[in-house]
Amino acid sequence: EQGEGGPAASSNAREPAPKRLKGREWRLVERATGLQFETLSDPLVGLDSMRRTKMTSVLRRELGKRLTREAIRRSGTLGDLLGELARLPDEAQVPAAASCSSRRSYATWGI
């Protein structure tokens, strides 16, 4: 029989997620925003415009996901944001060399 202070009483709904359970996206959001999230239900209230911009840039660069301002605005919690990321298609990767034509020439003006 366990007393009131036993392990059963301490297992609340807000137990922190072990580091191994945090996915890549979760860790990237934490790194980009400078915030630590304990659960998927943690709110995104601390995201000012600078942190949103940095997070958007990191997610696009690291994951190839183009997160819109509207998607961030709709996301009230970390879980909502990660759900939005899961629904987004990967951004098309076009090598820089492929986007430039080597046969194209440009006029230059000199002084």
- Separation between Cα atoms, residue 17 and residue 38, nearest integer Å: 6
- Separation between Cα atoms, residue 97 and residue 7, nearest integer Å: 59
Its pTM surpasses 0.75: no
Domains and CATH numbers, the chain: 14-90 (1.10.1200)
pLDDT at residue 4, as a whole number: 46
Quick check: 108 pLDDT over 50? Answer: yes
- Separation between Cα atoms, residue 107 and residue 96, nearest integer Å: 22
CA nearest 82: which of 65, 94, 100? 65
At residue 10 the predicted structure's pLDDT band, cuts being 50, 70 and 90, is very low
At residue 101 the predicted structure's pLDDT band, cuts being 50, 70 and 90, is low
At residue 69 the predicted structure's pLDDT band, cuts being 50, 70 and 90, is confident
